[in-house]
Amino acid sequence: MFPADFYTLDQEAERWVKVGDRVKVGDSVKVGDSVKVGDSVKVGDSVKVGDSVKVGDSVKVGDSVKVGDSVKVGDSVKVGDSVKVGDSVKVGDSVKVGDSVKVGDSVKVGDSVKVGDSVKVGDSVKVGDSVKVGDSVKVGDSVKVGDSVKVGDSVKVGDSVKVGDSVKVGDSVKVGDSVKVGDSVKVGDSVKVGDSVKVGDSVKVGDSVKVGDSVKVGDSVKVGDSVKVGDSVKVGDSVKVGDSVKVGDSVKVGDSVKVGDSVKVGDSVKVGDSVKVGDSVKVGDRVKVGDSVKVGDSVKVGDRVKVGDRVKVGDRVKVEVKWETALKWETALK
């Protein structure tokens, strides 16, 4: 009978650790079975490496780092102190990871990625190439980030989010769950995006914008600063929204619409294509505006008003429904 800890030569070979040339290992380091370390690798103190880990060449690992099982690290990677990496993680070449970063299981990081300090990445996350992530960022589970994406500091991303290529996200942004962001999108600072939001390509969002749940934004849309968008809003393509605009729930905006500053739109409003709305306009609930309508400044539209196509409304006009006469236009003198 063989002892319980007896291994055949083949089994023993699988447990061996293979270390390349010019490798420097610090104090109190623990390395698991079947680990392969490349050349010119430097490992700090109090590092723990799991089983079946493969580390490329010219890798530098800081102190108090914990690496899970079945992790693959590319060449020229730099890992800071107090980093924790889960199981089945794959890190590309020329990646730089800051201090106090926590990476979940089954994460894939592309090449030339830079991750700041105190970042937390969930499970099953995929990060493309040339991505830059700021400090104190939290990324949920099942998130997919494209190439050449830049994320600012103190950003929180929910679960099942998909971010396209060449996207830039400012500081202190909060993104909900199941959000899809297209390519070449720019998001300002202090923006809050709800759940199940879909943003098209080439969209620009200003600072301090709040977007509700189940909102759909088309391509080439520009949103100003301090805009608030309600739930279940649909915005077409090539729409421009000014600053300090408030949009209610269940609003539908067509293509090529231009909205001025300080506009307030009620709930269940439908705006056609090629509509131009001036500044300081107030639109009530359940209003329907046709195509190619032009509305001046300081106009007030009451509830349940219907405006046809190719209508032009001047400045300081009040439009309201009179139940005894169906529709009344009250025009203030300039």
Same structural domain, 139 and 232: yes
In a domain, 169, yes or no: yes
> What's the CA gap between 334 and 206, in Å, rounded?
33
In a domain, 56, yes or no: yes
The enclosing domain of 35 has a CATH number of: 2.160.10.10
The answer to whether residues 187 and 202 touch, using CB atoms and an 8 Å cutoff, is no
Decide the pairing of beta strands 120-121 and 102-103.
parallel
Same structural domain, 17 and 79: yes
Same structural domain, 232 and 327: no
In a domain, 110, yes or no: no
Same structural domain, 225 and 262: no
| pTM as predicted | 0.91
In a domain, 117, yes or no: no
Same structural domain, 271 and 289: yes
Number of domains in the chain: 3
Per-residue pLDDT, 16: 78
Per-residue pLDDT, 323: 54
Tens-digit pLDDT string for the chain (334 aa): 445 554 444 444 446 789 999 999 999 999 999 999 999 999 999 999 999 999 999 999 999 999 999 999 999 999 999 999 999 999 999 999 999 999 999 999 999 999 999 999 999 999 999 999 999 999 999 999 999 999 999 999 999 999 999 999 999 999 999 999 999 999 999 999 999 999 999 999 999 999 999 999 999 999 999 999 999 999 999 999 999 999 999 999 999 999 999 999 999 999 999 999 999 999 999 999 999 999 999 999 999 999 999 999 999 999 987 654 444 444 332 3
Give every CB contact of residue 134 below 8 A, 6+ residues apart in sequence: 116, 151, 152, 153, 154, 155, 171
Residue 76: domain span = 1-100
Same structural domain, 198 and 273: no
Same structural domain, 70 and 55: yes
In a domain, 312, yes or no: yes
Same structural domain, 191 and 208: yes
In a domain, 334, yes or no: yes
Tell me, letter by letter, the H, E, C secondary structure of the chain.
Answer: CCCCCCCCHHHHHHHCCEECCCCEECCCCEECCCCEECCCCEECCCCEECCCCEECCCCEECCCCEECCCCEECCCCEECCCCEECCCCEECCCCEECCCCEECCCCEECCCCEECCCCEECCCCEECCCCEECCCCEECCCCEECCCCEECCCCEECCCCEECCCCEECCCCEECCCCEECCCCEECCCCEECCCCEECCCCEECCCCEECCCCEECCCCEECCCCEECCCCEECCCCEECCCCEECCCCEECCCCEECCCCEECCCCEECCCCEECCCCEECCCCEECCCCEECCCCEECCCCEECCCCEECCCEEEECCCCCCCEEEECCC
In a domain, 96, yes or no: yes
Per-residue pLDDT, 330: 43
Of 82, 100, 118, which residue is a domain's last? Answer: 100
Same structural domain, 142 and 153: yes
Of 234, 249, 264, which residue is a domain's last? Answer: 249
In a domain, 119, yes or no: no
Same structural domain, 157 and 241: yes
Give every CB contact of residue 114 below 8 A, 6+ residues apart in sequence: 95, 96, 131, 132, 133
Same structural domain, 90 and 166: no
Let me know if 97 is exposed, middle or buried by CB neighbors in 10 A (0-12, 13-18, 19+): buried
Of 214, 233, 249, which residue is a domain's last? Answer: 249
The answer to whether residues 200 and 221 touch, using CB atoms and an 8 Å cutoff, is yes
The answer to whether residues 274 and 255 touch, using CB atoms and an 8 Å cutoff, is yes
Same structural domain, 230 and 262: no
**Cα end-to-end span (Å), the chain:** 106
